[in-house]
Amino acid sequence: MKFVKRTFRRLFSKSEAIFDFAFGPGNNPLVWLGALGWYFFWIAAGTGIYLYVFFDTGITDAYASVEYMTTDQWYAAGVMRSLHRYASDALVVVVFLHLMREFAMDRLRGKRFFAWLTGLPLLGLIYICGISGYWLVWDQLAQFIAEATSEWLDTLPFFAEPIANNFLNSTKLGGRFFTLMVFIHIFGPLFLLVLMWVHIQRHANARVNPPRPLALSTMAMLLILSFAYPAISQGPADLDLVPTSVGLDWFYLAAYPLLDIIPGGQLWIYLLLAGAVLAVLPWVPPKREPAPAVVSLENCNGCTRCFDDCPFGAISMLPRSDGRAFDTEAVVIADNCVSCGICAGSCPTSTPFRRAKPIEPGIQLPEQPISGLRDRLVEAAKDFDSATRVIVFACEHSGAEVLRADGAQVLTMPCVGMLPPAFIDFALSRKLADGVMIAGCAEDDCYYRLGDNWTRQRIDGTRDPYLRKRVPRHRLGSSWLRDDMTRLRHKALAAFKANLEQDADG
């Protein structure tokens, strides 16, 4: 399993490097796959509503109404039809890539299983919506799909009478059956939208909108494609004739050619087995779950910062239970907590300057307490073997441990979002280092979703807790890169050291 994940990760990493160069890290489409899925859904839904205004649901009139939209009103409804088609195809592509990428990045195991499991049924619903849409055109392709699908469904032991009997000839197909297809294609997306909402319920601040430049360029691409290769029908359906050849949409209809070589019942079994394998991946192999965050009510004033910053909705604010003069207290939902430590980095009491009593913030990870991070920082400052002393606070998923070979002292943590800004101030004001570098995951691609964003905002002074203005920014560096970009890590540290040395000489 690890070999498969490594292989996929290498493929994605090489592809992302190309997209980084072409679009910039902030607009890399492979980083925004989930948001692009929402974007394509809304395009397909909006264009579908427009098309339904002109669509005639009658069996004999459906094809004619679609042809009217395609030819007579090509400049509006015709473009909308093409957008509807290509946005639907793009939705399939980004959903599959999103699934593969989350698997490759190992962002599905343990307590993060919920999004994975709720995402799998989305695939089935997407295909139901797409395939039923092809039926509505009622051209030769729709006829082929109707006959093949009905025969495939008849291999299931659920139906009293064969569904395929409805398509024996033109006199057999009734308007009621066609109305059912219309119902499925209209209400299927509504069920899909509900499940998409469920899918992100454990993701606070879920990203459902791609960056504006990416959204605009994607829409431009779809429009160009719609004008260059407009979606067209393949001749009217005629159940008294057998279509000799049809052009398939391989994004939605790739399984249909398999029915010529695999019995329908076996194909159902293969699909169910594939779904079962995907469903158990979050627990294969089993993952040791770190202890969830713990709250110290003695140091919690109910400020809600940990609640606002938790990427997985693992913290709730409840009425005070200890009688102290605060309205609320933080409560950890253990089943949702992935032990990223971002809550500890957001707590204003997570300060290394405290001396009067032991460091115990309002919330922290019991296995990686803030006091332990302070002790590691102080000890690391004693072990420098290079003239320019740099402390690197690094995400354990960033691969930044390689910087130890450059003489830097690297302190890892589950996520750089766990780092309280006061630690940067402490390291520099106490002269424990000449400079501090933060090394995290690639921009907008944090393993724990939001740690990189929150860290940058805290340093920039736009999110509590702020990094104090007294901290000299020229002595603070950052490196937001994927874990395999070791050459760029070394290069970023070398450039940071050179700036520190130049400043010291000046």
pTM for the model stands at 0.92
* Whether 66 contacts 55, CB under 8 Å: yes
In the structure, what pLDDT confidence band is assigned to residue 253 with cuts at 50, 70 and 90? Answer: very high
- Which one of 106-110, 146-150, 455-459 scores highest in mean pLDDT? 455-459
In this predicted structure, the answer to whether residue 185 has a pLDDT above a threshold of 70 is yes
Domain spans, the chain: 2-283, 294-505
Mean pLDDT confidence for 410-435: 96
Of 451, 350, 34, 66, nearest in space to 208 by CA: 34
Which tokens belong to 333? Answer: 């939902």
Rounded alpha-carbon distances, angstroms, from residue 354 to 358, 374, 424 = 7, 11, 15
Tens digits of residue pLDDT in 486-506? 999 999 999 999 999 988 776
Share of the chain above pLDDT 90, in %: 75
* Whether 342 contacts 350, CB under 8 Å: no
In this predicted structure, the answer to whether residue 174 has a pLDDT above a threshold of 70 is no
* Whether 321 contacts 297, CB under 8 Å: yes
Which tokens belong to 489? Answer: 């890590």
- DSSP class of residue 69? I
In this predicted structure, the answer to whether residue 112 has a pLDDT above a threshold of 90 is yes
- Averaged confidence pLDDT in the chain: 92
How far apart, in whole angstroms, are the C-alpha atoms of residue 439 and residue 428?
Answer: 17
Tens digits of residue pLDDT in 467-481? 999 999 999 999 999
In this predicted structure, the answer to whether residue 166 has a pLDDT above a threshold of 90 is no
2-283 adopts what CATH topology? Answer: Cytochrome Bc1 Complex; Chain C (1.20.810)
Mean pLDDT confidence for 148-177: 79
Tens digits of residue pLDDT in 388-408? 999 999 999 999 999 999 999
How far apart, in whole angstroms, are the C-alpha atoms of residue 15 and residue 6?
Answer: 14
DSSP 3-state assignment of 191? helix
In this predicted structure, the answer to whether residue 415 has a pLDDT above a threshold of 70 is yes
In the structure, what pLDDT confidence band is assigned to residue 29 with cuts at 50, 70 and 90? Answer: very high
Instruction: Please state which of the ranges 52-66, 123-137, 157-171, 266-280 shows the lowest mean pLDDT.
Output: 157-171
Q: Other CB atoms closer than 10 Å to residue 421's CB: what's the count? A: 22
How far apart, in whole angstroms, are the C-alpha atoms of residue 219 and residue 506?
Answer: 51
- Alpha helix stretches (DSSP H) within 24-78: 33-54, 59-67
In the structure, what pLDDT confidence band is assigned to residue 310 with cuts at 50, 70 and 90? Answer: very high
In this predicted structure, the answer to whether residue 286 has a pLDDT above a threshold of 80 is yes
* Element containing residue 82 per DSSP (H, E): helix 79-104
Q: How many CA atoms lie within 13 A of 337 on its CB side?
A: 24
How far apart, in whole angstroms, are the C-alpha atoms of residue 398 and residue 420?
Answer: 18
